[in-house]
Amino acid sequence: MLLATTAPTAPARKGAYAVLPPTPETFNLSETDLAWRWGMNPKTLQRWRMEGRGPSYLKLGKRVNYPLNAVIAFEMCVQHVSTSQRAVTGGSGV
């Protein structure tokens, strides 16, 4: 007769990283995702990175990711009320 037992779990390895679900603070957009969000060509984002424009980004190897918090902060900074006046957000004028 076989008894139902739980399978042994693998011991935690030293130096192993736990994979956590993304939170708003840690969620990243790929270059393609951000280009789609803003309705632009990914090449524009590549040019902006070379010129030092746009939101801050993470580069790990060849992969470029944009933290969602940085994207939202950038969007807030470039908001306009009219064609001649920027929107005032967060209590500080930009």
- What's the CA gap between 69 and 84, in Å, rounded? 27
Digit-coded pLDDT (tens) for 63-92: 999 999 999 999 999 888 788 777 776 655
- What's the CA gap between 4 and 78, in Å, rounded? 61
Going from N- to C-terminal start, the domains of the chain cover 28-83
- What's the CA gap between 64 and 84, in Å, rounded? 33
Digit-coded pLDDT (tens) for 41-69: 999 999 999 999 999 999 989 999 999 99
pTM: 0.65
State the burial class of residue 48 (Cβ atoms within 10 Å of its Cβ: 0-12, 13-18, 19+): middle
